[in-house]
Amino acid sequence: MAESSDTHVFILLGPPGAGKGTQAKNLSQYFHLTHISTGDLLRKQIHQKTEFGKAVDVYMQSGQLVPDEMILHMLFERISAADCKKGYILDGFPRTLTQAEKLQAYFTQNKIEPFVFNLDLSDQEIIRRLQDRLICIKCHTPYHLFNSPPKKAGICDRCHAHLTYRSDDQPEVVSKRLQIYHEQTAPLIMYYKELKLLHTIDCNHTEKEIFHQMFLYLNRSFSS
């Protein structure tokens, strides 16, 4: 079933640790739209030990990108759900030019014009931030020791399970992820810039300041 042209879709680009998940949550709460994190979808599959999860775990543990065909299958299945009819926020997708082109073909077919944000941050700041990230072992809610700490140290606010450091935030894996980002994902910035869909946000600010910048841009776009 084709989605209507008034479907609002937000795409958040940026390196690991730039705050895509945090801002996706903010957008989701403000606009009442579904937040879709491909990373969370993949980790759920891994946690449930599905055959798909076992296959992608090998890639994630080594810091490599999961093959496009696997991600695309999972993503298109997710956005076809009823809770995505009015729109959704894509966090961590697309990550390659092939993914972006396939996604844009889907948008064109369904008469959707996405809002694409590039959350810009230096490698040095990314490495510093990732060293302090935590995630719930049960519900996968993300935390940060300084920017968004849990109310009780080491315990999830939502389900009260224990928090742990993400295995893909280990220094050697982070370095690999950044290398892959610059080689394969950064070209998406040029792709969306050429489509005149890209808006870059400087993420060397507080969470509230970053969201305010995004909101001002969207407000201008909606009123134009």
Q: What is the pLDDT of residues 37-80, one digit of tens each?
A: 888 888 888 888 888 899 888 887 887 778 899 999 899 999 99
Q: Does residue 205 have a known ligand-binding role?
A: yes
DSSP character for 183? I
List the domain range (segments joined by +) for residue 29: 8-223
Domain count, the chain: 1
Residue 9 three-state SS: strand
Active site residue 25: no
Active site residue 129: no
Mapped to the 3 state alphabet, what secondary structure does 29-93 carry?
Answer: HHHCCEEEEHHHHHHHHHHCCCHHHHHHHHHHHCCCCCCHHHHHHHHHHHHCCHHHCCEEEEECC
- How far does Cα 125 stand from its chain's mean position? 18
- For residue 182, give the CATH number of its domain: 3.40.50.300
Out of 95, 129, 151, 193, which one is annotated catalytic?
95
Whether residue 55 is contained in a domain is answered as yes
Whether residue 3 is contained in a domain is answered as no
Whether residue 44 is contained in a domain is answered as yes
Whether residue 25 is contained in a domain is answered as yes
What does pTM read for this prediction?
0.76
Active site residue 78: no
Q: Does residue 84 have a known ligand-binding role?
A: no
Whether residue 209 is contained in a domain is answered as yes
Q: Does residue 94 have a known ligand-binding role?
A: yes
User: What does the pLDDT look like over 104-134, one tens digit per residue?
Assistant: 999 999 999 999 999 998 888 888 888 888 9
Whether residue 1 is contained in a domain is answered as no
Could you tell me if 185 and 198 are in contact, meaning their C-beta atoms sit under 8 angstroms apart?
no
Whether residue 128 is contained in a domain is answered as yes
User: What does the pLDDT look like over 180-195, one tens digit per residue?
Assistant: 888 887 889 999 999 9
* Nearest C-alpha neighbor of 166 from the set 42, 13, 12: 42
Instruction: Give buried/exposed letters for 64-76 (b at 16+ CB in 10 A, else e).
Output: ebbeeebbbebbe
User: What does the pLDDT look like over 4-36, one tens digit per residue?
Assistant: 457 899 999 988 888 888 899 999 999 999 999
Whether residue 2 is contained in a domain is answered as no
